[in-house]
Amino acid sequence: MPIVIAIILVTLTGLLCAIMLVVVSHFMSVPVNHKEEEIRKCLPGVNCGACGYTGCDGYAKALANDPNIKTNLCVPGADKVAKEVASVLGVEAQDVIEQVAFIHCFGDCDKRTQKDEYEGIKTCAAAKNIYGGEASCSYGCIGYGDCAHACPVGAICIENGIAHVDQRKCIGCGMCSEVCPNHLITMFADVEVMAVTCNNQEKGAVARKKCSNACIKCKKCENNCPTKAIKVKDNLPQIDYDLCIDCGTCATVCPVGCIIKASFKGKHNLDENESTN
């Protein structure tokens, strides 16, 4: 007899709980915006914040609720995601400006000089606080790979003391540029080609002693630029990409070779080229 009471009691308790939950979830459920879920599925989910929202969820919510928000803000997703999002929302797809991370320091262990031995915590942020790391140039790449750890796709590796971006893998999210304590990483759009590979803001002679790749502030680039796109400001050449015609004159006249002509084609551009070939 007691077992019957026990069975009835537990069954009743379970049943009561179940009924309560069903009733409550029926009356109190929050209507879910299905568009939001669909958009969220299209987005890559790396939560990088390149779109300017708090993550993929935030961007999906904003897109679903506000028709004025652009569909081409997702840089890691590139054109493919922009098209999918646009088709979910029923609007015309806009082209995404693909980006690639570029590290403004080419002063690897062969080129730079060392001022001390650093034996502390192996992160750039920690080394930066102790006399700016091992290298005598405190503006350059520290080389403990904070950016490599931040990269969601493993596109950054440390070689010979400085970080390198593997452009075939880079999705252009910009998470690396946020963690670099020397602010060496900027995001380059695919249309740009000229880049400065030094960040040293000291006087030319001082910089030269510290690193053979350092900008010596000779202003040859500024004087030879046919469109006056380069100005040496704060002891560093600044390129105005609106004026730059990609002629490459600055790269050829630079005596230390700290301006280069490069290609900023990231993963998305390369994938597109492969599919068209």
What residues make contact with another protein under the rule CB under 8 A? Answer: 2, 5-6, 9-10, 13-14, 17-18, 20-21, 24-25, 28-30, 121-123, 126
CA distance linking residue 277 with residue 266, whole number of Å? 17
Please name which of 150, 133, 124 lies closest in space to residue 47, comparing C-alpha atoms.
150
Nearer to another protein, 179 or 270 (CB): 179
Distance of closest approach, residue 125 Cβ to another protein, in angstroms:
10
User: Are residues 152 and 55 in contact, defined by beta-carbon separation less than 8 angstroms?
Assistant: no
Q: How many residues does the chain have?
A: 277
Distance of closest approach, residue 53 Cβ to another protein, in angstroms:
15
Distance of closest approach, residue 134 Cβ to another protein, in angstroms:
17
Nearer to another protein, 89 or 179 (CB): 179
Distance of closest approach, residue 168 Cβ to another protein, in angstroms:
29
Separation in Å, CA 255 to CA 106, 113, 141, 221, 246: 15, 19, 21, 10, 19
Amino acid occupying residue 264: F
Nearer to another protein, 36 or 272 (CB): 36
Separation in Å, CA 160 to CA 1, 109, 112, 142: 80, 6, 11, 11
CA distance linking residue 7 with residue 246, whole number of Å? 82
User: Are residues 152 and 209 in contact, defined by beta-carbon separation less than 8 angstroms?
Assistant: no
Separation in Å, CA 22 to CA 9, 27, 34, 208: 20, 9, 22, 74
Distance of closest approach, residue 16 Cβ to another protein, in angstroms:
8
Nearer to another protein, 5 or 205 (CB): 5
Nearer to another protein, 120 or 226 (CB): 120
Distance of closest approach, residue 22 Cβ to another protein, in angstroms:
11
Nearer to another protein, 24 or 243 (CB): 24
